[in-house]
Structure 1
Amino acid sequence: MANLTSPARSRTSAARICTIVAFVFAGLALLLSPLLFGVLGLVLGVIGAVLGDKPLGWYAAAASVAAAVIGTIIGTLLLNM
């Protein structure tokens, strides 16, 4: 019986970890490298949503895309000053 609940628990933990890392990458996309961290955050957010962390995974994916766009705009504005 313990073996049946163990994969579900690890799957949920993996989904939550992917979602948290996706949010961290969204912040890094805003501050450091929008393209690199935005894409990584998008991928990890989708993986987290597919693995079972549905609402937060999709929010993390959307936050990564938004942070990548905003980071690109900020970077462009700073370079043109």
Structure 2
Amino acid sequence: MADTHSTTRPRSNAARICTILGFVFAVVAVIVLPPFFGLAGVVLGVVGAMKGDKPLGWYAAAASVAGAVLGMVLAAAILNA
């Protein structure tokens, strides 16, 4: 019989939803309120990664940071033009 215990936790639907929302907030952060949506995306990505959606959760968190930075740079460029 196979060993049913493993060191990785199974991915849950809640983890996948958090990860997807993290990516969505990363895109929204480029356009609207970059610090708010960027931070929310980072939190959701980390929660998704901790709940079992390991690589994609971390990618969502990184994408949210990049989206927030890009959004702030674009806002500064537009306001100073």
* TM-score, length of structure 2 as denominator length: 0.86
Structure 1 stretches of 4+ moved >4 Å? none
| Root mean square deviation of aligned Cα | 1.4
- Structure-1 residue corresponding to 2:50: 50
**5+ long unaligned stretches in structure 1:** 1-7
Shift of 1:51: 0.1
Q: Does 1:70 align with 2:79?
A: no
Gaps of 5+ in 2: 1-8
Mapping of 1:1-81 within 5 angstroms?
12-81=12-81
Q: Matched residues, percent identical?
A: 59
Instruction: State the TM-score, normalizing by the size of structure 1.
Output: 0.86
Matched letter for residue 13 of structure 2: S
User: Deviation at 1:14?
Assistant: 0.3
